[in-house]
Amino acid sequence: MSKIKLITINIIVFFCLLFFIEGASWLVLRLTNKKKVPLHERLAYYQQQSWSKDYLAEHQKSFQFDFHPFVMSRKQPFKGKYVNIDSTGLRYTAYNSAKIGAKKVFFMGGSTIYGTGSPDSLTIPSYFSKILHQKNADTSIVAYNFGESAWVIQQSLIQLIGELRSGNIPDFVVFYDGANDMYAALQNKKANSFQNAETYAQNIRPDFKIILQRIWKLIKDKSYTLSLFEQFFEKPKFSSLTPQQEQNLAQDVVKNYFATYQLIEALAKSYNFKFALFWQPTLAVTQKSLGSYEKELLAKDDKVLANFLKVTTQFVEKASKEKYPHFYLLHHALDTIPADVFFDFVHITPQGNEMIAQNMIQALEKNKN
């Protein structure tokens, strides 16, 4: 047998073997991987809403970002039936007053303020505006939804500074934060950071290791065999911390958060607006009666993250008793809802959004100063 013929046979055998392994890997992945249930099929609430499936489709289509100076990113403009984002990256808020001279209320926060899981009319800012106008027909406010996915409080502060600098002065500013600040700190092993900071850093200074990782990812994404192989060596999302490391990091998060509070307070005095900071609830700290889906979520939740949320919230609760009159804890605001309201560790249904908006209004009405 000639060498050329032998080489040809070996090449054919190699590719046949490769295709066989790829096919076998595809079959194993298909049999072992549970298909992710769409949001509109997970919770009873969404199953009862006629808009759920169409909303989810729009949410996925609208999840595209542009670079924005200083705040890193905002979603691209989008026009739909349930999701509408203007040219500046702000989501539409319903029930706003059309009266001239209406009070301007800015809502700052992450994806929970933006309204992941909710149509435009059922976000926290929309409910806030709706409830106030229903309580008093003479109320005249316009709520602006500045919320953005993954944002920490520093990004919201930078956004606010940009608005003030441009002359867009609010009458009231609502911050709704906590979860992203804790998540980013655990992800980066330091407070005063933002989510996926390492990815941004790698784009600025890509070294040989990073280039190899990107090549590996490109190949892996096209190979069932490598995807299956990686499952056996999948790293946990968050590396474990010692109790002391956990406490130190949690204290840094709280220190950074209330230092930001003081900056907001200074801006409020200079620009003559009122403000409030609300610490949001998470599944790890809620004391609500859990629904069946929430029980499943809690059992599957990353234990490192869940414990860090608990520890940090305890420090926040302790610190809040000091000298922060415009700070409010909402970590138990959903405890009276018996049904499933969380659909992941922090995002909630519109039913939860309404309860949060009600709690915000009640807290502000009790502390009018």
Helical (H) or strand (E) element with 68: strand 65-68
Q: How confident is the model at residue 41 (pLDDT cuts 50, 70, 90)?
A: confident
Per-residue pLDDT tens for 91-109? 999 999 999 889 999 999 9
- Mean pLDDT score across all residues of the chain: 89
Under a CB-based contact definition with an 8 Å cutoff, are residues 293 and 234 in contact? Answer: no
Angle (CA) 183 188 193, round 5°: 75
Domain ranges for the chain, please list them.
1-35, 40-366
User: What's the pTM?
Assistant: 0.88
Interacting residues of 91 by C-beta distance below 8 A, sequence separation 6+: 75, 83, 84, 85, 114, 115, 120, 123, 145, 147
Q: Is residue 107 helix, strand or coil?
A: strand
d(CA 366, CA 12): 78
Matching residue, tokens 């691209």: 76
What is the structure's pLDDT at 312?
Answer: 97
Number of residues written out for the chain: 369
Average pLDDT over residues 138-158: 95
Average pLDDT over residues 252-265: 97
CATH code of the region 40-366: 3.40.50.1110
